[in-house]
Structure 1
């Protein structure tokens, strides 16, 4: 790391981690609703139906237990159940069928929505099995396992999963939503690597779902969301890596034009092993900055050569690039792992024109804290027999702001809409399912033909609507 302006970088690091956490307590208080009353009596039978922990609205700890990781969403649920194991899932589903209840499975809630209101919220954190098979290059994990746990277990064997950027994100929800990885340019969607799912169906029966045993349901689970069954474990392929080189580079915001020019030049011809993210960053207590986050599946010398255009840009504040174990993938960006109030909007971009670049470089981003352009392409452009399918868009944009107050929320929303209007010609109007914001629905993620096929599978496997995902494939507003 360069040290010429180390104080600025330290301030940036502190405030970057605070960006999504500021105002969390205020927001929780502002969003809290009175969930005591009839729900508590209605579901008192849950305690005898399951062996896992049950929290009802009258219980101490219920309010905390019902919160998702993204604190912008107030989840008004009937109860929270922490499953003990797969048998407990069967018992809970039978209870739901008998009582006419709806279940929303949510390991931690990085992408929540109000669709879960009125449901029994199911936590799977105790389903924490992690099994790595180096011989078959595969993993088997429980529904409560995070990517950080998988990478830590696979890394000593020289293997990696198609992991997300945050080690705190759950493997199951991420995969059910498609899963857009640092390594997607090399290996495609994370869901494309899934080989089997252990589920409990809407009748409470356990099943192992594969391409040969239940092809339609297997297809739906590989990136079509969590509307069809309760997944208790999944299996997926791992991939050998000879090395992982990556990290973060930062410059004063005045260098943004040069950094963008190098970003466009490198991403236009990058090998599939290389991925870059370009970011504008605005944090309290630190000067505005422009950054590049990058990973390269290969050795350090080859990675540095591919990125040499950035080395000619003067004034660099920090450079954390290094050869690292795949277990340290989360250090590349250092995303916050604590619950946070975030408003973000992600959308695929069909290109990055000169006009788009001018918008990004000249428009005031305030009050947003980050604007990021992420590099796609590579394996994602190839045909994929999964609901997300192939992706022609070479980039996606992420607009992010912290909103601990109603005024901050309104200001963020106004700025996001201004950016979307300015980028109208390059927008795809599509957002990956696992990156939808609380104000979006499954219609914003899936093509109509794919959505209709998923709805048919939902109706076949869950005709009584026992399961409801954060972004339901049936009526996305009512979740029915």
Structure 2
């Protein structure tokens, strides 16, 4: 559905004319506020555009895309900047952080989120109604970017990917038209956006379903270095037979011995098992008993909690920093391979690499859209801080680590590719999905305006 009421001007607007049409801001490298506007959570890479449009409305996005098209400028988009891939030099950057409207329809169990809305905002708005979005571990991640990449939620095994719950998408395509697409209106574009949506337009808002969740049993079991090998073997065996209502991951972190680290983490190598379960606390206690039986915990934070406090399960960092990362989706895994991954990334590794293994399956294996490799059983994620670390060195280590579970590898996850990986992202989708995405790109952005 085309929502744009006006037509594009015949002549290319000047920068001053663009600024006059924008209710947000227009900035160039000489302007105060330019560096702040282009910055995001990912401090390792940052856009340096010729023009920034800090959009405050869908109309601002329309004007920005039309301006870029008429001047031959590539378009990039940023909300929080968590998943920044290819940093641009030149072109036009649309910053959507001002578009932060959230509307909850409790009766219909749906929400509308503007392009700048954070996942945590929707959790807060939905909680009074006993509802929740399908959100990830970090409340500071943008809803739109998270969802366009599929959106692996902390309750993913029970409710699937965030993109599975989208009812409608509002976006501006490369022709400068504002569209509202759904399963009934331009269904091929809608389908392409759900998991493969980056590069098909500038999404200005999403309507999506909410799930009836008020509380969860969740938290972390943290084990010391002497138990890491056993934890990994027990965790893999434990995930063989779990109810879909329980979603979990195990993380390995060799914390640096530096003054900036909290004293209780400094210089330690720890295994973190994260749990989110919508069943009763009593059932949760029984389910995690085999994990607790591994041995003494450095920390045990499992408890019954309101869903509004579910961000405490993973305790993701909130301070912007530089990082590069890769991922691999796996059809299976054995304990020896996982221990080999730990050996390559542990305290003796040449650089710090955070490892996380997500247990998939359940509802994640179902659904439509363009999410790739739904039949994967695990997701292995690698992330290295770049402060004082060469990107090439980080990627060399990541490649070595990815080689360990190669017999089970089926592809990558687009939401966990950090930095410009170029053609490597192609294996995020099976061939039929890649073909459909290419067809959508050819139809809606034939000149590749959004190739940034």
Same fold by TM-score, threshold 0.5 exceeded? yes
Asked if 1:300 is matched to 2:265, the reply is no
Q: Report if aligned partners of 2:85, 2:419 keep a CA contact under 8 Å in 1.
A: yes
- Pick from 168, 184, 196 the counterpart of residue 196 of structure 1: 168
3-state secondary structure, aligned to 1:139: strand
Q: Report if aligned partners of 1:180, 1:189 keep a CA contact under 8 Å in 2.
A: yes
Separation (CA, whole Å) in 1 of partners of 2:122 and 2:395: 35
Range that drifts further, 214-223 or 144-153: 214-223
**Which residue of structure 1 aligns with residue 3 of structure 2?**
none
- Pick from 35, 56, 61 the counterpart of residue 28 of structure 2: 56
**Per-residue deviation, 1:263:** 0.9
Could you report, residue by residue, the CA deviation over 1:284-323 in whole angstroms, capped at 9, with x for unpaired residues?
Answer: 2232111211111122111111111122232211111111
**Which residue of structure 2 aligns with residue 409 of structure 1?**
391
Q: How does 1:78-117 map to 2 (within 5 A)?
A: 78-114=50-86, 116-117=88-89
Decide whether aligned partners of structure 1 residues 62 and 358 sit closer, same or farther in structure 2, where only a CA change above 3 A counts: same
Asked if 1:438 is matched to 2:419, the reply is yes
Could you report, residue by residue, the CA deviation over 1:64-100 in whole angstroms, capped at 9, with x for unpaired residues?
Answer: 3223321221323222211121122222222223222
**Which residue of structure 1 aligns with residue 260 of structure 2?**
none
Decide whether aligned partners of structure 1 residues 55 and 272 sit closer, same or farther in structure 2, where only a CA change above 3 A counts: same
3-state secondary structure, aligned to 1:222: helix
**Which residue of structure 1 aligns with residue 369 of structure 2?**
386
**Which residue of structure 1 aligns with residue 212 of structure 2?**
240
**Per-residue deviation, 1:208:** 1.8
Separation (CA, whole Å) in 1 of partners of 2:219 and 2:352: 23
Could you report, residue by residue, the CA deviation over 1:344-370 in whole angstroms, capped at 9, with x for unpaired residues?
Answer: 211112211243033134445322242
Q: Report if aligned partners of 1:68, 1:75 keep a CA contact under 8 Å in 2.
A: no
**Which residue of structure 2 aligns with residue 423 of structure 1?**
405
Could you report, residue by residue, the CA deviation over 1:158-217 in whole angstroms, capped at 9, with x for unpaired residues?
Answer: 111110111010001111111111122111111111001122333333322111111111
Asked if 1:322 is matched to 2:303, the reply is yes
Asked if 1:348 is matched to 2:332, the reply is no
Q: Report if aligned partners of 1:243, 1:299 keep a CA contact under 8 Å in 2.
A: no
Consecutive unaligned residues of structure 2, counting only runs of 5 or more, are 1-13, 257-265
**Per-residue deviation, 1:242:** 5.5
Report the aligned-residue RMSD.
2.1
Q: Report if aligned partners of 2:61, 2:94 keep a CA contact under 8 Å in 1.
A: no
Separation (CA, whole Å) in 2 of partners of 1:370 and 1:463: 39
Separation (CA, whole Å) in 1 of partners of 2:341 and 2:239: 17
Asked if 1:268 is matched to 2:250, the reply is no
Separation (CA, whole Å) in 1 of partners of 2:446 and 2:390: 41
Separation (CA, whole Å) in 1 of partners of 2:320 and 2:43: 7
3-state secondary structure, aligned to 2:433: helix
**Which residue of structure 2 aligns with residue 277 of structure 1?**
249
Separation (CA, whole Å) in 2 of partners of 1:202 and 1:464: 8
- Pick from 356, 375, 382 the counterpart of residue 372 of structure 1: 356
Separation (CA, whole Å) in 2 of partners of 1:372 and 1:92: 38
**Per-residue deviation, 1:272:** 0.6
- Pick from 159, 173, 176 the counterpart of residue 148 of structure 2: 176
Alignment: residue pair count: 426
Name segments (4+ residues, structure 1) moved above 6 Å.
Answer: none
Q: Report if aligned partners of 2:37, 2:95 keep a CA contact under 8 Å in 1.
A: no
Separation (CA, whole Å) in 2 of partners of 1:341 and 1:221: 28
What TM-score, normalized by structure 1, do the two folds share? Answer: 0.84
Separation (CA, whole Å) in 1 of partners of 2:335 and 2:270: 21
